[in-house]
A = this chain, B = another copy of it.
Amino acid sequence: MTDCSSCVVRNRAICASLDADELLLLGKMGRRQRVKAGHTLLWEGDDAPVVANVLDGVLKLVVATADGREQIVGVVFPSDFIGRPFGKTSPYSVTAMTDAEVCIFNRNSFDTFASSHPDLQQKLLRRTLDELDRARHWMMLLGRKSASEKVASFLLEMSERLSGQGCDAGTLDKGFELPFGRQQIADILGLTIETTSRQLTKMRAQGVLDLPSRREVVINDRAAMVVMAG
């Protein structure tokens, strides 16, 4: 069992809708689990037996074709919800991009619990609606944007989502550290690793950004970046 009252994402995750008693009940169902970077929590097509909350780290949702092409269809951060409630096989794999920690629930137990806790279900609905908006926004990027627009859009979104992480939520840092490498950026944007790399180099040459190290990005000219994002 898990002690929810001291949970790091207690107030941001869907659990935030629950009172002390309910939290205790949910806590009995959940258990914390560490996932090492690169390890896969859920496999695409499997009858996924669990749902989970992310406590720490970053995970990716991946869809693959038979011949091995991969597309990242979602990136989840702490307090985000993972999995497919209500009895469906997982339509994507969930893999840790960094060392991560999640709070896992048996799906059937969770479904039952959710059904009798409308507030929790509403929180889940809101979250799912937001995810859907984000996914549809991303569809525009994948279908209609050029490589440079894709990279610019990606950096701006990451800058926003990663800034929300720390204590000083709200302020946009100029610099931030990406939790993933070039290949994964490419898999998010529907590009190859080479094209991604070239676009970044071009932007650095233009002075719009700096790349102090492999995973660090500093946005020098956010306005220009917004224009490039299309």
Q: Which of A137-145, A204-212, A213-221 contacts B (4 or more CB under 8 A)?
A: A137-145
Q: Can you sample 29 A-B contacts with CB below 8 Å? A: A61-B136, A63-B137, A64-B140, A65-B140, A65-B230, A67-B230, A69-B144, A71-B139, A73-B139, A84-B129, A86-B125, A86-B126, A88-B129, A115-B118, A115-B122, A118-B121, A121-B121, A124-B125, A125-B125, A128-B128, A128-B129, A128-B132, A131-B132, A135-B135, A135-B139, A138-B139, A142-B190, A143-B189, A144-B190
Instruction: Choose among A73, A91, A132 the residue with the greatest number of B CB atoms under 10 Å from its CB.
Output: A132
> For the complex, is A167 an interface residue (Cβ under 8 Å from B)?
no
User: What is the interface size of chain A, counting residues whose CB is below 8 A from a CB of the partner?
Assistant: 42
> Considering the complex of A and B, which 4 residue pairs feature the smallest CB-CB distances, nearest first?
A143-B190, A142-B142, A73-B136, A118-B118
Chain A residues packing against B (C-beta within 8 Å) = 61, 63-67, 69-71, 73-74, 84-86, 88, 91-92, 115, 118, 121-122, 124-126, 128-129, 131-133, 135-140, 142-145, 189-190, 230
The residue that A144 contacts in the complex, of B71, B128, B129, with Cβ under 8 A, is B71
Look across to chain B and name the residue whose beta carbon is closest to the beta carbon of A92.
Answer: B136
Are B190 and A136 interface neighbours, CB within 8 A? no
Q: 7 more A-B contacts (CB under 8 A) besides A70-B144, A74-B136, A125-B128?
A: A63-B136, A65-B230, A71-B140, A73-B137, A91-B133, A121-B121, A135-B135
Q: Which residues of B contact A88 (CB under 8 A)?
A: 129, 133
Are B135 and A136 interface neighbours, CB within 8 A? yes
Taking the closest CB of chain B, its distance from the CB of A169, in whole angstroms, is 19
Are B65 and A144 interface neighbours, CB within 8 A? yes
Q: Which residues of B contact A84 (CB under 8 A)?
A: 129, 133
Please measure, in the bound complex, the distance between the C-alpha atom of A125 and the C-alpha atom of B122, giving whole angstroms.
8
Are B139 and A86 interface neighbours, CB within 8 A? no
Instruction: Choose among A65, A70, A145 the residue with the greatest number of B CB atoms under 10 Å from its CB.
Output: A65
